Structure 1
Amino acid sequence: MLEVHRDTGTRNGGFAADVPISGAIRDWISGTSIPELARTWMLTACQPIPSRWSRPCTASARPSSTRSAGQPAPWSTSSIPTPADTPTTPRLFAHTAWHIRYGVDTEQAIKLLTSGITSHHLAHQIGRAAAEAGIGSGELRTWVADQQIDGWVTAYKANTYEVEDILDYVSKPANPLNELLRGHPVTIPLARVGPGTGDGPVTLTHPGKKPATIRVNRDGNQIAAIPAARHHAVLTLIDSGLDLTHHLEAGQLVTTLAMASL
């Protein structure tokens, strides 16, 4: 059982109630949101309460066996020992403690949450999709990047904040302005290059305030896109205010600094 402590922050303090731990943990790792966990499993301890108390109430839950340590429920089991592998003692899955700690059900989601992704909802969805596609943790960053910004919005319903989070996760370190100011061209591999598209001058479309794929255009038509992994680098070029020229060469964007800017 889970011993739930409700602390309302008032003079009257709070009270405790027991919640079945197995069901609560199943919901937690299945991606159920914290407010929904509170509504489902803490009716006695937390209802009726204002919605603003749902998270504190859930976060204060802890197994009665560890109540003296005062650890929150999702974190209190992060140190579960793995039983000896004997014929009579089942062996826990190696990542059991991590699944419970982070509230996800795939190794890929754990990788995302420990690599900078802050959205539990997003990590859960991407992790499940990656697991179903057979994508391991080592391939995860490239696989996510290849879906591009519009893919994240469509497949995972990622909001603006979450898109920025994924962009930070997939972005390749680069400092294109330094290269340009040293007189070197900057070369960026492109995505979605139209078949039969020839080399020549192109222009770039600023994505605007909301994260969106940067389009590569010719004669007013989109002919390619900037990959998500290079989004930040190219946006830095566009926002620099420098006089730049862009060319498509063998499926890559080659950007140079105009002579007037030197």
Structure 2
Amino acid sequence: MSFADGTRMSGFSGDRNYDFFLSYSRDDAPLVLSVVKELSGSGIDIFIDEIEIGWGDSINEKIFSSLEKTRNIVVFLTDSAIQSKWVRKELSTALTNEISRGSVIILPVLLADQASFFEAFPFMRDKKYIKFEGPEHLAAEMKKLIRGQASTSFVFNHPRTYSGPVWIRLFATDKDNDHSHKVTITWGPWYRGTSVVLSASQPSFLLHSKGDDDESLPIRVYTDRPAYVAFGQGIPSDGRQIDLNPFWVDAKSRLKRLYASIFLWPSDRNR
């Protein structure tokens, strides 16, 4: 894994998780790719078969394993998609995942006749959908959904059974674009600090690791300026990346925290 400036990232490996899985008919590929283009450089991780499935990959395995690892499924409901067996399979799997997780993950984008949509997918009748108003509009809605509300305090629990690389993604607000943000993190008995110049348009990732400990301790993140913060597992695909694995200290020791803030954490700026 490498930083944007070419610096090598060591100590990380693992599968990617996705913010969005795009479900669509092959006939609608140009339209879907226009949305992907609008999201380029946003730090949002997208699964789209045109890009992610390589020569020789098992299509079934790649698609259905990616559905398991995605937070949201955006389905482009065109006349072609309504007739597509693949879209039906993907939606059926997504609905099962949605029920098991107990949270909304299917996000319909309507381009077909509403009556035809409900006739083809009766289980989607109670779903709120948005109408397609162009790639820029849809990309903006997807960014808004992922970034959530700006705040200075965040908490998250990684799955108890997960072990491997994990990340914290940060965006600045428009007001604080390109300003340095002081970030402090507590995770169980451990404490970590750093300072990051955040962009409102390009993400910064703080990467660390979760061991095979069969625990799900809350990780708490505090910023001195309001920011957009999200958490995830795996390796992010782009954006500035800082390895936080070294230099965690005992959260209860003021002396160790002071020493780290003076001598250890400032080195993050040079890595």
TM over 0.5: no
Q: Give the TM-score category using the shorter length.
A: under 0.3
- TM, length-normalised to structure 2: 0.26
With CA pairs under 8 Å and 6+ residues apart, which has the higher RCO, 1 or 2?
2
- TM, length-normalised to structure 1: 0.27
Higher helix share: 1
